[in-house]
Structure 1
């Protein structure tokens, strides 16, 4: 059962749908305070988790570091810069039969996959040279 779309949740969703930077909860908090100065960081975290549970957004977890959030829930891949930590969408087609190939390899049912590429972004590469 979907939860009621509160003013806070709607603001968070709009922030995520209008950015491609895959922000942290802290970044979302700073943006939300421009519209809702009374909003708390706890409210941000609670609403992010509700939006994830309702499949309105994606949570991108990277080990022990903080999560990033993505307002684009359509299947797509990500690139993570190992130097600066930036997360970017990869503009390429999703390999449609990858779930089937993996399911055959594990002799099971694969429901979905998440794929990230790692390397150095263009800005970090320029600084390195």
Structure 2
């Protein structure tokens, strides 16, 4: 079934594409609401799901809720365990893992995601500043 492209859906897609930081649905709703206060939260969430179904965006399941990504090519992400920031990595996607897992499990693999967890540079800096402040006290 082909869905018509609505003004709201176009606005939502444009906002996701304008973000480089893997926004939450709530982040996207706030941006949409600033541009068009008549668009409801439900409309944003529903259209994010439709945009994911049509392959215009991807959703990344992370602790605290899904994040949305304008990049739809296979790529890895790194997630900060402290602040929850999500960013792309330059690690090349390993398609050979799909066939290896298929052989091991009998599943037909349609895709896989690679997520790395760590502490982002900003949180590392804050921690170091806190430690310095405590050592000075």
* Both proteins in one fold, TM over 0.5: yes
Distance in 1 (CA, whole Å) between partners of 2:120 and 2:2 is 38
Give SS of 1:61's match. strand
Worse-superposed segment, 49-58 or 3-12: 49-58
2: CA distance, partners of 1:83 / 1:115: 19
Alpha-carbon deviations, 1:7-51, whole Å to 9, x = none?
110011111112121111111011112221211111111111111
- Taking the TM superposition and a 5 Å limit, the aligned residue runs for 1:9-28 are 9-28=9-28
Q: Distance in 2 between matches of 1:78 and 1:2?
A: 31
Deviations 1:51-108 (A, max 9, x none): 1121211112235x32211121111111000000001111221112111122122233
- After superposition, the CA RMSD in angstroms is 1.4
Aligned partners of 1:76, 1:33: CA distance in 2, in Å?
Answer: 30
Give structure 2 stretches of 5+ with no counterpart. 129-137
- Alignment correspondent of 1:110: 109
The 1-side partners of 2:126 and 2:37 are apart by 37
Q: Which residue of 2 aligns with 1:54?
A: 54
Residue in 2 that maps onto 1:124? 123
CA distance in 1, matches of 2:97, 2:2: 31
Deviation at 1:110, TM superposition (A): 1.5
Of Structure 1 and Structure 2, which has the larger fraction of its residues in helix?
Answer: 2
Q: TM-score, normalised by structure 1?
A: 0.91
